[in-house]
Each structure stands twice: as C-alpha cells, then as structure tokens.
C-alpha cells in the first residue's frame, strides 16, 4: 500500500510541476508581445529619424559643394 502511495504521490508532484511551469510560461509570453510591439515601434521611429538625418546631410553636402564651386569660380584669376 505504501508503494502505491509513493507512486501516486510522485505522479501528482510531476503533474503539479508541469502545470506550474506551463502557467509561468504562458504568463511570461502574454507580457512579451506588448514589449516586443513597443520595441518594434521604437525601431521604426529610429529608422525614420536616421533616414531624415541622412537626407538632411545629403542636402547639406550638395549645398556646400555648390557654394564651394561658386567661391572657386569667383576667386579664379582671369575671370
């Protein structure tokens, strides 16, 4: 009789561990999608900012090149 109680007790303990583990896993996964969504939104915003900065830098480089060319033409002797 005691052997049966040990076996049944072991099965109950293993089942409880599995249920608690499953519960913890599901609660952890339920919290993660919102955090992942927030991080994805932040990444998109940062990529847009980086794109805008790159466009600004390209425009400024073009303006600087144009200004440099005007200054070089103005200071060339013989013109």
Measured CA distances, 21 to 4, 25, 28, 45, 51 (Å): 26, 6, 11, 36, 44
Measured CA distances, 69 to 27, 29, 31, 34, 75 (Å): 64, 60, 58, 53, 10
Its pTM surpasses 0.75: no
Find out whether 79 and 73 touch, Cβ atoms under 8 Å. yes
Mean pLDDT computed over 41-49? 97
Question: 19-24 long-range contacts, Cβ below 8 Å, gap at least 24?
Answer: none
Mean pLDDT computed over 37-60? 95
- For the chain, give the mean pLDDT: 88
Mean pLDDT computed over 46-54? 97
Share of the chain above pLDDT 70, in %: 90
Residue 78 has a pLDDT of 59
**Other C-beta atoms within 10 Å of 32: how many?**
10
């Amino acid at each position: 009789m005691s052997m049966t109680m040990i076996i049944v007790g072991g099965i109950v303990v293993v089942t409880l561990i599995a249920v608690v583990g499953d519960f913890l896993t599901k609660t952890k996964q339920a919290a993660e999608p919102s955090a992942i969504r927030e991080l994805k939104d932040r990444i998109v915003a940062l990529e847009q900012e980086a794109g805008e900065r790159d466009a600004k830098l390209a425009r400024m480089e073009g303006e600087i090149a144009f200004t440099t060319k005007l200054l070089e033409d103005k200071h060339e002797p013989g013109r």
